[in-house]
Amino acid sequence: MFARATGWEAKPEGLCLGARCVPAPLREGMVDAAAFAERMGMAIVRDEAAGVWALGPESGGRALASADAPDFELPDLEGRLFRLSSLRGRKVFLHAWASW
């Protein structure tokens, strides 16, 4: 399931994406996500309450400061303005898509 969800495959030499393998340190029998992210130059944040990790793409040294999104306002499908802050205090999944 891990490989299907991420493209990375766990092998004896570490976590591998095609021919590229990165040693993946273990902590209590599980991959140490923070150490893996550091080795890959990826941004990582953790929501302690939900036990959820967010691992971003290779970021060239940039890192996420938190899992908090800035407030913004966009029209909904009916053209009414919607503010992200109206959902404050709730978990929100943001999905951005473009055709270009």
How would you label 23-59 residue by residue, b for 16+ Cβ within 10 Å and e otherwise? Answer: ebeeeeeebebebbbeebebbbbeeeeeeeeebeeee
Predicted confidence band of residue 66 (pLDDT cuts 50, 70, 90): low
**18 domain-assigned:** yes
Mean of the per-residue pLDDT values of the chain: 76
**10 domain-assigned:** yes
Predicted confidence band of residue 86 (pLDDT cuts 50, 70, 90): very high
**34 domain-assigned:** yes
Give how many domains the chain has, as a whole number: 1
| pTM of this structure | 0.42
Q: What is residue 9's predicted lDDT score, i.e. its pLDDT?
A: 81
Domain range spanning residue 17?
2-60+67-87
**42 domain-assigned:** yes
Whole-number Å distance between alpha carbons of 50 and 53: 9
Q: What is residue 24's predicted lDDT score, i.e. its pLDDT?
A: 77
**98 domain-assigned:** no
Q: What is residue 92's predicted lDDT score, i.e. its pLDDT?
A: 81
**92 domain-assigned:** no
